[in-house]
Chain A
Amino acid sequence: MSQQQTLPPKDLPKEPPVTPQLGAEHGLKPDEFQLMLDIVRESNGRAPTVTELGIFSVMWSEHCSYKSSRVWLKKLPTTAPWVICGPGENAGVIDIGDGQAAIFKMESHNHPSFIEPYQGAATGVGGILRDVFTMGARPIANMNALRFGEPGNPKTRHLVSGVVAGIGGYGNCVGVPTVGGETNFHKAYNGNCLVNAMTVGLAQADKIFYSKAAGVGKPVVYVGSKTGRDGIHGATMSSAEFTADSESKRPTVQVGDPFTEKLLIEACLELMATDAIVAIQDMGAAGLTSSSVEMAGKGGLGIELDLDKVPQREPNMTPYEIMLSESQERMLMILEPGREDEARRIFEKWELDFAVIGHLTDNGRMVLKMHGRTWCDLVLAPLFDKAPLYHRPTEPTPPQPELAAGDFPLPAPASQLLLKLLGCPDLASKRWIWEQYDSQVMADTVMGPGGDAAVVRVHGTKKALAITTDCTPRYCLADPVRGGAQAVAEAWRNLTAVGALPLAITDNMNFGNPEKPRIMGQFAGCIEGMAEACRVLDFPVVSGNVSLYNETNGEAILPTPAIGGVGLLKDSTLAIGSGFKAEGDALFLLGETKGAIGQSLYLREILGREEGAPPIVDLQVERRNGDLVRGLIEARLLTACHDLSDGGLAVGLAEMALRGGKGVTVTGLEQADAGLLFGEDQARYLVTASATNAGEVESRAKAAGVPLTRLGTVGGDALTGLAGGPIPVAEMKRVNEAWLPAYMAGEL
């Protein structure tokens, strides 16, 4: 260890002694703290420095180590012939033909968004964008899945306002369209909102960049923004429950600069067009620590950094602060030796910092020097392979009763109830949100927000990608296995409904405190259901993120395994929307309706009851019905298609009328019960076909063994045929559009 000092000892950063209490303040449990002491004692013959403690604590945090979830995540299927890279890299990569790849991932920024909604959400978008362009992809679409507390909660309006502005503020400036998402409200999120952001990027399949370092002696290069004191301990903060003092954690939230991110995207993609980069990794959670540890660790090498050379925003930063900072818009890369000047010119053109801060070594150690002194000298391997791995106890969720729709008669005429549902927070139009996002920049958006799935053209080709985010948390709470399967199945169905072939998913697992067996049981159950659905639907998981400890004062969120699905359309003109198209089109219900009323929105919003088992998910039927629908769309036999989910058949009809601005007359529903009108049976679609093609649709359904019911005919300016009389489309529109703007204006 070098003891040469360039600063007089009195001016060196002061480091406090490493005590069990300091370990606890870093989130290390007593046995984890002891394990760290033993590891450092064995390899170095001394106690760890505080910089080393900081590095251990973030690498072993739940956020970085997945110590509670790893054993379960292994159960998810992650391969298929079209998967180029599954979980473990910055993002997942799939083959979309013609030598092109789609790269995508979804990631949470829940804890920071609750503390500071604008910056928390903004940096969530920034982080997921970096995960994608780090791998060589140009980001082409953003999505998000948001959950907020009940509207009456005093904090909800402030969170919605800040989160939406933050997502827009970042994504709009960077110039990547935000093409869709979902937003729910439930009291279980009063103390912890969820902000899950997804980015999809496009790359050449033979130009994917990975994080595994290679080549002893090769330079380690830092690019992007300067390092400041923001975000220190962000990863640790996200690995603990909130208590009453969570406001005091505001300084742990990072601050985003989308302008710098835009420059970083362009500079990185410009450099990536050369062959100068060996490996690259963004500095996300735990910043310089996790990026350097992961790159060197994956390559089985060591790394030595001279922290004096790290571009710094503030004077007198300590090695500890530099290593733990979560300043945004920074990347770490290994370059081919001799290419530094070429790379520097590109980053200087884009007015970004560029610094060679170290090199790879062959000793398997992480050595950090500053002011001529060594502040950290750790064997790297234990930071990831000795990270704690917990087989936490699980307690299964008790089964809920299957409810019979007949026990829940309609309390009012169906048309009145439908209007009420269309105006409820979960079903009300989210236009107020998505009009704050630029959904059209890049000029490739085929179908933007407000449909079943977004569709974005693959620039310069006929192809298009379909993208969706889905989860029904109330189902997951009542029956985690069914809920997990349903989330995957609904994503698959949404992609199918626009005519895409579903290819793969990213998952964002949002749960409460995993140290509680009940919560861990929810996690395990959701994984089991998801895994089964992924297998049956050939819909593997290629990337993901886990966010645990979403609890405040012991109250957990609903289990929320948000699924981001991506599918492929061979021809973007195949994409059909869910709005009624033409007068006289025949309307069909495709799939079987038994009247699944348990956990339905009808039960919750109309009768005020959250109970029963969620709908059964029959994955074979899901697949059979979906494959038929996709075939019908590919044969251009349909004019519109909408999958049925929240609110069931009646809400599906209304949504098609709203989106198309046209009415419909249905038959046989005057006497329908709650199960038929509002049941949330799975694997169902509403489709329309021209009078010419209706017969062909019927015969193909018959051949496939899929139940198909002729429901009515598109036309007029009202939804006609429900008990209670026709509902004008204009009236549905007024009710559907009114709630969110009025709520946000403080009028409700």
Chain B
Amino acid sequence: MRSAVIVFPGSNCDRDVAVALEQASGTKPHIVWHRDTEIPEVDVIAVPGGFSYGDYLRCGAMAAQSPAMRVVKERADKGVRVFGLCNGFQILTETGLLPGALIRNRSLKYVCRTVGLKVESADSDFTRKYRAGDVVRIPIGHGEGNYVADDETLERLEGEGLVAFRYAAVEGELGDANPNGATRDIAGIYNAKRNVLGMMPHPERAFEPLHGNTDGRAFFDSLVESLS
């Protein structure tokens, strides 16, 4: 599986996702600078977490206008797999690749913890190594993860099975199962063609035994199995 990671000024999970992609696939991802106007031929493009452009103006808004994202959009339209984690999800909504928006957490505070995540469907290149209905534990870390969309969009997402992950209770975990107030507990969604995924949680932070939890490993293994 050939992959690329887009790096913006202020990205800070670019190395983490690159490490996970390399360890899962055995191939080093291409690192693409936000000003690059070309991306090598790859099977999957990662838009990493962080604070692109300092989250100034609006999370993801400036990154969405970068030359590299214009190319990502073209590739996504051609069917290349694209996933955005955390700030990457925000960027994908700002580019219009995914519907809806991510606004301030209901608590108005940044929150970093491990949450329960229900896999809504295992029928995608990003999730086939999970089982539908599984509740896995994946860390989050964000201040703007509260997913919103108009009712029509939400109905379409639900009706077409485009909700990828929902926050869900895990036995023994404290606090609300929904950590940010997201509408219908939505933590991640697909585009209509299911080749683009955005999610707030960080599977790269639950990848190896050192993390104390390897529930995120299957995310990367799914891609490798689908695209190799």
Chain A interface (Cβ < 8 Å from any Cβ of B) = 165, 168-169, 172-175, 257-260, 262-263, 350-351, 431, 434-446, 457, 572-573, 661, 733, 737
Contacts and interface: CB of A to CB of B under 8 A. Distances in A.
Contacts of A446: 210, 212
Contacts of A437: 110, 112
**A-B pairs with lowest CB-CB distance, top 8:** A175-B12, A259-B54, A443-B16, A173-B51, A438-B141, A440-B205, A438-B112, A436-B110
Contacts of A440: 112, 139, 141, 202, 205, 211
A446 B205 CA distance: 11
Given A351-B9, A443-B19, A259 B53 contact: yes
A441 B16 contact: yes
A169 B210 CA distance: 26
Contacts of A737: 174
Contact of A441 (B13, B20, B56, B207): B13
A259 B63 CA distance: 14
Interface residues of B, number: 33
B110 A438 contact: yes
Interface string B139-158: 10101000000000000000
A321 B104 CA distance: 38
A165 B112 contact: no
9 contacts: A172-B51, A172-B112, A257-B54, A259-B54, A262-B10, A440-B205, A441-B13, A441-B141, A457-B210
A140 to B, nearest CB: 12
Contact of A442 (B16, B109, B143, B209): B16
Given A175-B13, A443-B16, A259 B210 contact: no
Nearest to A168: B110
A443 B112 contact: no
B110 A441 contact: no
A173 B15 CA distance: 15
Given A262-B51, A443-B205, 13 more contacts: A172-B141, A173-B12, A173-B51, A257-B54, A259-B9, A259-B55, A259-B56, A350-B9, A431-B174, A438-B110, A438-B141, A441-B12, A442-B16
A443 B211 contact: yes
B213 to A, nearest CB: 11
A69 B186 CA distance: 56
A293 B157 CA distance: 62
A434 B174 CA distance: 14
Contact of A259 (B15, B51, B109, B112): B51
B125 to A, nearest CB: 23
B227 interface: no
A168 B105 CA distance: 15
A431 B174 CA distance: 10
A181 to B, nearest CB: 14
B113 interface: yes
A258 B54 contact: yes
Nearest to A434: B112
B207 A443 contact: yes
B10 A443 contact: no
B13 to A, nearest CB: 6
Contacts of B212: 446
Contacts of B159: none
Interface in B189-218: 202, 204-205, 207, 209-212
Contacts of B50: 175
B176 to A, nearest CB: 12
Contacts of B10: 173, 259, 262-263
Nearest to A263: B9
Nearest to A442: B16
Interface in B47-63: 49-51, 53-56
Interface string B48-81: 0111011110000000000000000000000000
Contacts of A457: 210
Contacts of B54: 173, 257-260, 262
A741 to B, nearest CB: 9
A544 B174 CA distance: 37
Contact of B210 (A174, A572, A661): A572
Interface in B1-34: 9-10, 12-13, 15-16, 19-20
Of the candidates A175, A351, A441, A443, the one having the most CB atoms from chain B within 10 angstroms of its own CB is A443
Interface in B97-113: 109-113
A661 B172 CA distance: 8
Of the candidates A260, A262, A661, the one having the most CB atoms from chain B within 10 angstroms of its own CB is A262
Interface string B109-153: 111110000000000000000000000000101010000000000
B51 A443 contact: no
B148 to A, nearest CB: 22
Interface string B80-98: 0000000000000000000
A262 to B, nearest CB: 6
A440 B208 CA distance: 13
B28 to A, nearest CB: 14
B112 A439 contact: yes
A574 to B, nearest CB: 12
A435 B112 contact: yes
A265 B49 CA distance: 18
Nearest to B208: A443
A431 B175 CA distance: 11
Contacts of A168: 110
A335 B65 CA distance: 35
Contacts of B56: 259
Nearest to A441: B12
Contact of B111 (A173, A435, A443, A661): A435
A382 to B, nearest CB: 42
Contacts of A172: 51, 110, 112, 141, 143
Contacts of B202: 440
Given A259-B54, A446-B210, A435 B113 contact: yes
A341 B12 CA distance: 27
A436 B210 contact: no
Contacts of A444: 210
Contacts of A263: 9-10
A436 B111 contact: yes
Nearest to A730: B172
Interface in B151-172: 172
A435 B20 CA distance: 24
A262 B12 contact: yes
A162 B172 CA distance: 30
A450 B19 CA distance: 27
Contacts of A434: 112
A457 B207 CA distance: 14
Of the candidates B12, B54, B207, B209, the one having the most CB atoms from chain A within 10 angstroms of its own CB is B12
Contacts of A435: 111-113
